Amino acid sequence: MSSSPVLYVLNGPNLNLLGTREPDIYGRETLADVEALCRAAAEGAEVVFRQSNLEGELIDWLHEARDKADAVVLNPAGYGHTSVALHDAIKTLTIPLVECHLSNPAAREPFRHHSYVSPVAAGVVSGFGPFSYDLAVRAALRLARARAPRS
């Protein structure tokens, strides 16, 4: 790992609408607010913060992270419940990945109770609104710093 670890924070579909989409569930903070929170929680680590509504783009970024990142925080949003392809891309990683959700999927509709990401993630943080990202960033960086250097 370089002297300053690199953390990818990847966000799935509809998260570009944070602050306006179902604020009773997801809160009023915007994705820009979440990004600022992640950068502050990273305490000097380099943060690559991205959002896409496209499953393939998220997969491409996970492939990129294999060589360029020391850890990943992923909020797969709805793709967490549907994407075997995302699951398979995560399995190719040799760096820690922490799954992150603003809401608690287990306390919501039954179709949200299953995640294709959780079984291949180092851990899951959910249900704390934007603070879920703070916890996930800190956990991912702690796991990254405990590992051997990236080659």
> Residues annotated in the binding site, as ranges?
75, 81, 88, 102-103, 112
The answer to whether 101 is a known catalytic residue is yes
Q: Which of 8, 79, 101, 133 is catalytic?
A: 101
- Cα angle 133, 137, 140 (rounded to 5 degrees) comes to 135
State whether residue 67 is helix, strand or coil: helix
**Residue 102 phi, psi dihedral angles, 5° rounding:** -70, -50
**Which position among 8, 26, 79, 116 bears the catalytic label?**
26
Q: How many CB atoms lie within 10 A of CB 13?
A: 17
26 noted as active-site residue: yes
SS3 4: coil
Residue 39: CB atoms within 10 A of its CB come to: 17
- Output the six-digit token pair for 122: 């180092």
Q: List the beta bridge partners of residue 130.
A: none
DSSP annotation of 9:
E
Q: Which residues are annotated as a binding site for substrate?
A: 75, 81, 88, 102-103, 112
Please list the active-site residues.
26, 101
